[in-house]
Structure 1
Amino acid sequence: MKIINQRKNSVLWHLICFSLVLAFTACSDDKEEFQEYLTPASGSESIFEQGFSFGEAASSQSVSFEAGQQWTAELSGEDTGWCNINPAKGTSGKATIMVSVGKNETGKARTAQLNIISGSKKKEISVTQAANAMVVPDGLSFTPAAPDADQPLVITFKADAKSALYGHKGEVYVHIGVVSEGTWLFVPADWAENTDKCKMTSTEANVWSITLTPNIREWFGSGKTPVNRLGIVIRNADGSKKGVESDSFIEVTDTKYEGFVPGEIKTAAVPAGMVEGINVVDNSTVTLVLYDKDTNGNHKDFAHVVGDFNNWTLSNDEKSQMYRDDTSGCWWITLTGLDASKEYAFQYYVGTKEGEVIRLADAYAEKILDPDNDKYIPASTYSESMAYPEGGVGIVSTFKIQKDSYNWKVNDFKIANPEQLVIYELHLRDFTASSDINGAMGKLSYLKAMGVNAIELMPVQEFDGNDSWGYNPCFFFAMDKAYGTKAMYKQFIDACHEAGMAVIFDVVYNHATGNNPFAKLYWNGDKTAKNNPYFNVEAPHPYSVFHDFNHESPLVRKFVKRNLQFLLKEYKVDGFRFDLTKGFTQTSSTEGTASNYDGKRVAILKDYNAAIKETKNDAYVILEHFCDSKEEKELAADGMHLWRNLNNAYCQSAMGYSQDSSFGGLYEETPAWVGFMESHDEERMAYKQTQWGDGVLKTDLKARMEQLELNTTFFLTVPGPKMVWQFGEMGYDISIEENGRTGKKPLHWEYLDNADRKELHDVYVDLMKLRNDYPELFSSSAALTWKVGTADWNNGRSLLLESVAGKKLVVVGNFTHAAIDVAFPAAAGNWKDYFTGKDETVGAKVNVPAHGYKVYINF
């Protein structure tokens, strides 16, 4: 009886409890504790809150939980292929999900997200995997991450698919230096110098490494110079490939040495009569003036000078600190107690409180010292001192109170017949074996005998390096030491004048390199800064080279005019050939519009021409312009001459092709156009013959030289000034691209030992003699009638020239491979063969052999 009652009570209790549960469930809105709950199992609480964290190795981890009903799991994120989960779904109750990751082969950490969903409940759990510490990232990297000057440094470079070194199998070197005051210092090797110290070790495909040990400071041997920044370029053995095109930099902490701390600005007006640059006041006093005012009207926070006069010591006293004059926009300092006979080297030290420090040479210095390039100039070329000061950083400038005097032998040289000039374009580097003025001096008798009456020197103002065409100028008042001393330049010009030859300087004012002080003063990365008052950040025209001068800036105009007048006075040059004057504009253009008429460009060039004429009224000015005819004629009317390029036409005729071979564009009645068959910029006619000549003009030297003689008779007999590129008179057949377009070319003076080449040379000589002896025939007053178009090819070309006094010159020529009868362009009768000196009776037609010509005169 007792047992039965107990059972009844138990059943009743369960019925009561069940009823309570139903009642509670029916009225409750909290489902988390019942059918849809999702809670971590014991031991998985931290993963639920903090997520999975994996090392770089392949491994697995699990998470356990309880779900109130069926659940699913998934991975989300940008890339989840490196991990997986198992299982991806399950029923209610206890469950475990295994998360597995593969080995991280990359140098980057990886992330994903595990999402567990049960009913309306969702739990997001992060999944991360550490980067592989042994994987090298693309590009430049280094260890430790915070370099210290007194600790070793491992530098590593990994070439990606875009790098020029990607797939490179040869040796790789680091070009490296301590960057201080805007200059790379303690550079262990020159660009093309391959030393073991700078050789990198290949650690795997496309990866190279080098260690600076025992520490950065000792590896460079930088002494007490603070080491706060390293400049780096990764290159192949010959320097033709870079790992990254732009320079790379590594910031370094140096707790041992600190730099100089400039004092507060001192203000005072620039002394009266002083100009920018180096001002000699008396035999013991010099005032240095540095312009510094950007396009926003701002200036640097400090400016000092260091040099031989203060033992290259920076200080905040009167021996180093410059005064500021905001009215003139200049810094200045007066140096006293100087030795008038001593040459002083010096630099400007300028910068900002934010840490910018720049060492500058003076833009107006007439001599600079270059620690990277002067050492390669032989004493036979430059006999004066090139000793570099111990305290200098980069290029330094010099001055001497008592300048070395030169006694000119010819003080009043005049160009005899400027309309009939034959200009010989000469590159000092490639003209003789010594590649300098000494060598060119030894060849002046050759040029005089040839009949040349003007020499145009390719750029000789200081350019970067020693081996160049010279179109990379950096200092405009200094002559490049790679060719000789200042006195040697004057001796060369004087000797030319004695020989009756004018000297024309090829000058480059369109642009300058980054070594130019005006460029360095306002600089940003690898370009001139937006606030630079001298340069454009980007050239407005499509012919940009280096850094583009803004010729609408009064500062640039003032500088160029001052430089032109200096060259005329100091070196007694007879004129200038201006490079790339099409770029003297701020008008935005494309290749299709750059030649359009530009009135502002005309005004700029007229301004420069006026400054030239003010100093030397008969100076000869030539422009490489190639612009709208209206513009060129307006410049010609102002007394300037312009290049006239007929290279393509004369190359076509040299190769034996009539197409595009008309010579008609060589001449206009005004004498302003300086015509040429070749220039430094064009491919050589004789080379094109060897490559693409028609028939015997490719295979036979004699035929090639005869065709070039024929070209010459239809070139030097045309009125107006002409230009000959060096060695064109020998049939120089080395391509312009030999050793790179601007690279050094081989000498072939022995060409003159070959009878066929010597005959071409002699034609130049004879025709120049004709021009020099009878200038009236080649003036603008002479009448020219010629048939030199493509339609005249098969029947022969002809030229008739007649002076006002009745002197006549006739040229007939045959550019084909077979003899033809050419119509005589003048009256038949008695004529003299100019080359033989024999009288002939000439009929209505003249039989001319293949590749042949006849030149007749009536006097």
Structure 2
Amino acid sequence: MRKLIIFLLIANSLWSFMACKKAVPTDEPDPIAVSTEGLLSVEQGFLYWNDQATLLFDPSKGNAELKGENGDLYLHMGLITAASAGAQDWKNVISSWTSNDASFKMTKRNDGKYAFTLNPSVLYKLSNGNDVKYLALLVRNGTGTKVGRNKDGSDLYIPIAKKEGLAIRFNKPVTQPTYLLKTEQESYAVQEEVSFEIMANQSGKISLSLDGVQIGVEENSKTLKASHKLTKVGLHNFLAKIEANGQQSTQNLEVFVTGSSNVAELPAGVNPNGVSIDRSNNTVTFALSAPQKQSVFLLGDFNQYQASEKYVLNKTPDGKTFWIRLTDLNLNQDYTYQFMVDGKLRIADPYSHLVLDPAHDAGIKSSYRSSLPNYPAQAQGIVSVLNLKASSYNWKISQFNKPNPYDLVIYETLVRDFVQSHDYTTLKDSISYFEKLGVNAIELMPIQESEGNSTWGYNPSFHLALDKYYGTQDELKAFVDACHQKGMAVILDVVLNHAFGQSPMVQLYFENGAPTASNPWFNPIAMHPFNVGYDMNHESNLSQTFVKDVLKYWLSEYKVDGFRFDLSKGFTQKNSGTSESAVGAWSAYDASRVQLWKMYNSYIKTIDPTAYVILEHFADDREEKELAEAEMFLWNNLNQAFNEATMGYNSDNKSDLSRLFAQNRGFSNPNLISYMESHDEERIMFKNLQYGNTSGSYSIKQLPTAIDRNSMAASFLLFAPGPKMIWQFGELGYEISIDQNGRTGEKPIKWEYFNDPIRTKLFKNYAKMIRLKKANSIFRNATLQASSLNAAVKYYLLESAGQKVLIIGNFDVVQQQLNISAAMAGTWHDNLNNQSKTLTTQSGIQLAPGEYFVLSNNKLNY
């Protein structure tokens, strides 16, 4: 006889396919004391709308996040009424999350539980409670950083009864206060009896039935005790009922029994994760990696989300993979589905390409939302969409010849803050703008499915699913295709250092607010500072498989041209700690991290040998040099140095631009993506206008002057050898602070800048310099012959195959003289003003504040 794991939850419908065994009630049931053993209980047994009751909260139960908390605990409260659309639709929220109102503070008792006494009708001051169904609540600490919830992460709910009416409850098994009630006990052994204690608020006929067959009854009583043995895999439905004075009240309790899975090898040709479709044989195979789990059921609209023996997944002999092959699906329609793991956890497929999220999908465009399948009424949480009827996108450019990586001028953009409509289609319509500017690569900030809608995207939950907030899969493909038609590459910013709590891979092994030690993808605690979400263990074979699958999917399905890897320095299992003081240890040379990145880079090149691999690394120069020699590119943040220079503050080396050059860091090739702005830094123009230096009538706080300083800085950036990056609207002097509306909050989209001749002058200067950079090979990998980059007057001299380029600029706020060396002397072509300029060692050159030149011994191609 195989072991059975039993999971209990309330449901609204009965399941009637199983055999039942009748339980014998006692002749005279003893009075049942009110159970207060659960996470949240009512000391009086029932919570009435118009009567006082005491709630008891046990911080050691449920998610146990508040276990051991020493400070005060507060309730956050609302109601679920007849007008609520579902469990998340709280009404009449009367407590603030951000202020500690003594009216909602719980009282700690000697037994470690917390108490709160209330009368709902008095607390809510409503005319009546006829439409109120539940009291909904959360328990938080004083700072709101820890929250008491159910084990499954859901909110807490207590049914509200009417004192003059009938009410009934399950006293045993002890339950969690979920919207659909679940037991706290997770499993039983086979033939072990499930014991029931049922309470009513009035005497009457109390009965307990299983799948419509009565198994216990008491006449003229308030209590019933019964037991039942569960012997079949599947779903059992228990119904408790009280009947009195011509009225009745019921409570449903489902008991789910899952047996050990059949052991079978994964069929040949089937992916060990996700969905494999074989149209020639009319089969669809679902697979899930879940080591150490006992059983998995497939739930979907093809079986009304009801677990049954037909939909038990097989387990591979190594115990790591569960799979099931279906032969009766219609391959010309959409389905939704989930996995139920060990009878208690429902998750969407980690390999989903599209998901439905009941908490956030209301915020996506209605035109797109209406094209999606309806969210299934029987499901809970996020569900996967299996789109079997999808047609392939017809690519106009099937093979794209990417720009030389050393010619790249990348435009980093956040779709949300670049186009008012927040969508890929309008972004595609903006390609003419990119073309006019001259950039040859667009880097999209993360567009994988993340938690919420209006975000930066660095809180991912489904790494293979496109974020629906910005539009459809075909709309993104059309954008990529259109970029390729104009010779522009598309680079995706991907987040594979971590995932957030909606991720099924996090949820599969998660307790007490963190991944467990058995989680094969994520660390229980982060290995490094500045981690957000849950830190991925990249030395795990399953993590490496997942990352490779993610990268292959985006390269193949969307034909993107490469990746910018967020927080790439975090791909380490060396524990440097999480405090800011640990940054030095984290940044030190890490041989294991280097090998991980070489492995990932090599894999990417097997899919696309010309793909760009860009790391946000910021590690020791020795480590970055080794990665660069393996043909990876490193983000090179020069925001502070450039901004100190543009603001006119050039003392104590803060404006030193020497790290603009790869050879100053020991690199053989300029594999640096240098930039003076990115999404992570304060805007150059904001600081120029707020804090710029002044001397007499020359003030960097004035817009025309601040714009000219930006243009001078751009010349130093763009003409240094190697690829470069511009953060959106930097070419128009965007001046809104990163902190407006919160660091990651939406920022105003200032397309009206393009009507301002002062700002369009900057745009035109950027466009000319970008075209010069792309048209002249000297800017790929020239030799730095001479330079002075840490003083107010800055210059550098490049040479390659007889071509020379000299960049000069006065970053001071007063006139300065630059002495001319022999290497700099001669007659030069001024490429920005299209005239000649002679420099001599005898006279030097006088430079007004903000004056700059782009000179070459031979006129540059344009």
Q: TM-score range, shorter-chain basis?
A: 0.7 to 0.9
Q: Report the counterpart of residue 271 of structure 1 in structure 2.
A: 267
Please, which moves more after superposition, 510-519 or 685-694? 685-694
Q: How does 1:539-554 map to 2 (within 5 A)?
A: 539-554=526-541
Q: How does 1:309-458 map to 2 (within 5 A)?
A: 309-316=302-309, 318=310, 320-351=311-342, 357-380=344-367, 384-458=371-445
Please, which moves more after superposition, 529-538 or 820-829? 820-829
Of 474, 493, 505, 1:506 maps to 493
Cα deviation per residue 1:293-321 (whole Å; 9 max; x = unaligned)? 1xxxx323x321111111222222x1x22
Of 771, 774, 778, 1:772 maps to 774
Shift in Å, 1:661? 0.4
SS class of match (1:763)? helix
Matched, 1:560 2:558: no
Residues 1:649 and 1:550: Cα distance change in structure 2 (over 3 Å): same
SS class of match (1:839)? strand
SS class of match (1:631)? helix
Of 281, 284, 287, 1:286 maps to 284
Q: Report the counterpart of residue 798 of structure 2 in structure 1.
A: 801
Q: Report the counterpart of residue 661 of structure 2 in structure 1.
A: 667
Q: How does 1:14-25 map to 2 (within 5 A)?
A: none
Checking the alignment, whether the CA contact within 8 Å between 2:79 and 2:92 is kept in structure 1 is: no
Separation of aligned partners in 2, 1:365 and 1:349: 15
Matched, 1:305 2:298: yes
Residues 1:386 and 1:746: Cα distance change in structure 2 (over 3 Å): farther
Residues 1:676 and 1:827: Cα distance change in structure 2 (over 3 Å): closer
Of 177, 182, 186, 2:86 maps to 186
Q: Which runs of 5+ in 1 are unaligned?
A: 1-139, 167-171, 179-183, 223-228, 236-240
Shift in Å, 1:186? 3.5
TM-score (norm. length: structure 2):
0.73
Shift in Å, 1:803? 2.5
Q: Report the counterpart of residue 246 of structure 1 in structure 2.
A: 147
Separation of aligned partners in 1, 2:827 and 2:633: 38
Separation of aligned partners in 1, 2:117 and 2:102: 7
Checking the alignment, whether the CA contact within 8 Å between 2:49 and 2:119 is kept in structure 1 is: no
Shift in Å, 1:754? 2.0
Q: Report the counterpart of residue 686 of structure 2 in structure 1.
A: 687
Matched, 1:460 2:360: no
Separation of aligned partners in 2, 1:581 and 1:594: 12
Shift in Å, 1:247? 2.8
User: What is the one-letter code of the residue matched to 1:712?
Assistant: A
Checking the alignment, whether the CA contact within 8 Å between 1:287 and 1:335 is kept in structure 2 is: yes
Separation of aligned partners in 2, 1:599 and 1:147: 61
Checking the alignment, whether the CA contact within 8 Å between 1:698 and 1:704 is kept in structure 2 is: yes
TM-score (norm. length: structure 1):
0.73
User: What is the one-letter code of the residue matched to 1:484?
Assistant: G
Separation of aligned partners in 2, 1:384 and 1:402: 13
Matched, 1:196 2:118: no
Please, which moves more after superposition, 451-460 or 265-274? 265-274
Separation of aligned partners in 2, 1:536 and 1:303: 24
Shift in Å, 1:335? 1.6
User: What is the one-letter code of the residue matched to 1:342?
Assistant: Q
Q: Report the counterpart of residue 633 of structure 1 in structure 2.
A: 625
Checking the alignment, whether the CA contact within 8 Å between 2:693 and 2:813 is kept in structure 1 is: no
Please, which moves more after superposition, 685-694 or 404-413? 685-694
Cα deviation per residue 1:164-184 (whole Å; 9 max; x = unaligned)? 999xxxxx9526889xxxxx9
Separation of aligned partners in 2, 1:149 and 1:528: 38
Checking the alignment, whether the CA contact within 8 Å between 1:421 and 1:454 is kept in structure 2 is: yes
Checking the alignment, whether the CA contact within 8 Å between 1:655 and 1:697 is kept in structure 2 is: no
Of 800, 806, 815, 2:811 maps to 815
Checking the alignment, whether the CA contact within 8 Å between 2:660 and 2:674 is kept in structure 1 is: yes
Separation of aligned partners in 2, 1:452 and 1:753: 21
Q: Report the counterpart of residue 787 of structure 1 in structure 2.
A: 787
Residues 1:282 and 1:148: Cα distance change in structure 2 (over 3 Å): farther
Of 630, 635, 646, 2:638 maps to 646
| Bigger Cα Rg | 1
Q: How does 1:587-666 map to 2 (within 5 A)?
A: 587-589=574-576, 590-659=582-651, 660-666=654-660
User: What is the one-letter code of the residue matched to 2:254?
Assistant: G
Q: How does 1:696-775 map to 2 (within 5 A)?
A: 696-774=698-776
Shift in Å, 1:525? 2.2
Residues 1:210 and 1:259: Cα distance change in structure 2 (over 3 Å): same
Checking the alignment, whether the CA contact within 8 Å between 2:809 and 2:852 is kept in structure 1 is: yes
Shift in Å, 1:340? 1.2
Q: How does 1:148-159 map to 2 (within 5 A)?
A: none
Checking the alignment, whether the CA contact within 8 Å between 1:164 and 1:242 is kept in structure 2 is: no
Cα deviation per residue 1:13-67 (whole Å; 9 max; x = unaligned)? xxxxxxxxxxxxxxxxxxxxxxxxxxxxxxxxxxxxxxxxxxxxxxxxxxxxxxx
Of 445, 460, 463, 1:476 maps to 463
Shift in Å, 1:494? 0.6
Checking the alignment, whether the CA contact within 8 Å between 1:175 and 1:187 is kept in structure 2 is: no
Shift in Å, 1:430? 0.5
Shift in Å, 1:189? 2.9
Checking the alignment, whether the CA contact within 8 Å between 2:496 and 2:566 is kept in structure 1 is: yes
Separation of aligned partners in 2, 1:350 and 1:212: 37
The number of residues matched between the two structures is 676
Checking the alignment, whether the CA contact within 8 Å between 1:650 and 1:663 is kept in structure 2 is: yes
Shift in Å, 1:331? 1.9
Checking the alignment, whether the CA contact within 8 Å between 2:79 and 2:133 is kept in structure 1 is: no
Shift in Å, 1:529? 1.3
Separation of aligned partners in 1, 2:80 and 2:827: 77
Separation of aligned partners in 1, 2:601 and 2:79: 45
Percent identity of equivalent pairs: 37
Residues 1:402 and 1:842: Cα distance change in structure 2 (over 3 Å): same
Q: Report the counterpart of residue 46 of structure 1 in structure 2.
A: none
Checking the alignment, whether the CA contact within 8 Å between 1:579 and 1:623 is kept in structure 2 is: yes
RMSD: 3.3
Residues 1:147 and 1:607: Cα distance change in structure 2 (over 3 Å): farther
Separation of aligned partners in 2, 1:829 and 1:812: 14
Checking the alignment, whether the CA contact within 8 Å between 1:468 and 1:743 is kept in structure 2 is: yes
Q: RCO (CA 8 Å, sep 6+): is it higher in 1 or 2?
A: 2
